[in-house]
């Protein structure tokens, strides 16, 4: 049984509505998606606009990041996503694996009993290389 992987959304999006796993079009997202899919791990997308998103959910493109929100709004976002996780997985929330930057993690980790950040401290280029190494 794999831990639930949470993959952050990215700014680069297709210009039209698509299922969420195909909406985000950056190289980083494509590699993160490939990484979790090759493991057979369950995964969800962390969206600044929508909270927790099923990869099969159809979304319109949007232009919001957690960096656009103030501290109180990010805290409310984290609480909302924690509620979505409890609804999806039960309580307590099972361990999660973050493929997400600090704004997403900082808003959500106060609500999680256990989590891992396998690319902690890596810059974007290092993350891309890590994803390549660990997907092969």
DSSP 103-118: HHHHHHGGG-S-EE-T
What distance in Å separates the CA atoms of residue 45 and residue 5, rounded to the nearest whole number? 8
Residue 100, pLDDT above cutoff 70: yes
- Rounded to a whole number of angstroms, the distance between the first and last alpha carbons of the chain is 21
- For residue 91, what pLDDT is reported? 86
Q: Give CA–CA dist 2/42, Å, rounded.
A: 7
Q: What is the pTM of this model?
A: 0.94
How far is residue 79's CA from residue 62's CA, in Å, rounded to a whole number?
Answer: 21
Total number of domains in the chain: 1
For the stretch 17-40, pLDDT in tens is 999 999 999 999 999 999 999 999
1 pLDDT band, cuts 50/70/90, is low
Residue 46 lies in a domain: yes
Residue at 135 is within a domain: no
Domain span holding position 87: 4-130
Read off the pLDDT band of 80 (50, 70, 90). Answer: very high
């Amino acid at each position: 049984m794999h831990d639930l992987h949470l993959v952050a959304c990215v700014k680069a999006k297709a210009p039209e509505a698509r299922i969420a796993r195909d909406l985000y079009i950056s190289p980083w997202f494509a590699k993160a998606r490939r990484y979790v899919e090759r493991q057979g791990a369950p995964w969800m997308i962390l969206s600044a606009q929508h909270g927790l998103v099923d990869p099969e959910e159809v979304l319109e493109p949007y232009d919001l990041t957690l960096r656009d929100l103030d501290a109180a709004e990010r805290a409310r976002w984290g609480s909302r996503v924690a509620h979505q996780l409890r609804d999806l997985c039960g309580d307590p929330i099972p361990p999660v694996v973050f493929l997400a930057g600090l704004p997403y993690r900082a808003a959500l980790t106060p609500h999680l009993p256990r989590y891992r950040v396998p690319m902690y401290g890596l810059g974007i280029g290092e993350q891309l290389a890590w994803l390549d190494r660990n997907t092969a």
